[in-house]
Amino acid sequence: MRDMAQNTRDAELSALPRLGGRRSSYRERVADALRAALIAGELRPGEVYSAPSLAARFGVSATPVREAMLDLAKEGLVDTVPNKGFRVTVVSDRQLDEYTQIRALIEIPTVTALARTADRVSLEALRPAAREIVQAAAAGDLIAYVEADTRFHLGLLALAGNAHLVEVVADLRKRSRLYGLTALVRAGRLLASAEEHLELLDALLERDEQAVDAIMTRHLGHVRGLWAAD
């Protein structure tokens, strides 16, 4: 019985996203998948979700979902509702504007500087993640899109060698909401945004700082533009 339970858990774990390209525990992977669903707007603000219903939705067991949601509650992403489950916290437009402003102040100059400092091997190592973003957009898989997008951007920022900077941006990304992704999928417009990641990589490899700055400015503009429309 113990072997069967472990095999089930291994199968569930393999189906969950791995954010940031790091090795994670089962509970962390469940929390990552839930965060991605929150960011993508698949779990809606103000709605109450029970652990069993989320477990069924993600194809995992209820206990790690409940534990993961408690972790998200500590981060302020959900509130506990006694005897019912968890309510997704509402993020105001002002908060989203502030998050995006901080991200722009950090990410645009940091990534632009990488056109001078990042080595080609490290940049090319991010191409598989960029392609995963495009594939997820084409498939309309928003959770996979957010997971690959997070892995790409945090991996890119990590090349600057400032771990605290990566941590700050990771936290801001967790708190953001991209409610407009579903509408972009329906309109067939998400793919164009996804392909910007490959465009950005090519500009970095060409050492074109002006192009990198322009692409990053446009790309982050989507967070409060195309991607944010509810």
Q: Rounded to two decimals, what is the model's pTM?
A: 0.79
pLDDT per position as a tens digit, 50-99:
999 999 988 888 999 999 999 999 988 899 999 899 999 888 889 888 99
Q: Secondary structure of 99-155 in the HEC alphabet?
A: HHHHHHHHHHHHHHHHHHHCCHHHHHCCHHHHHHHHHHHHHCCHHHHHHHHHHHHHH
Question: What is the three-class DSSP state of 157?
Answer: helix
Report pLDDT digits (tens) over 178-193: 776 777 777 778 888 8
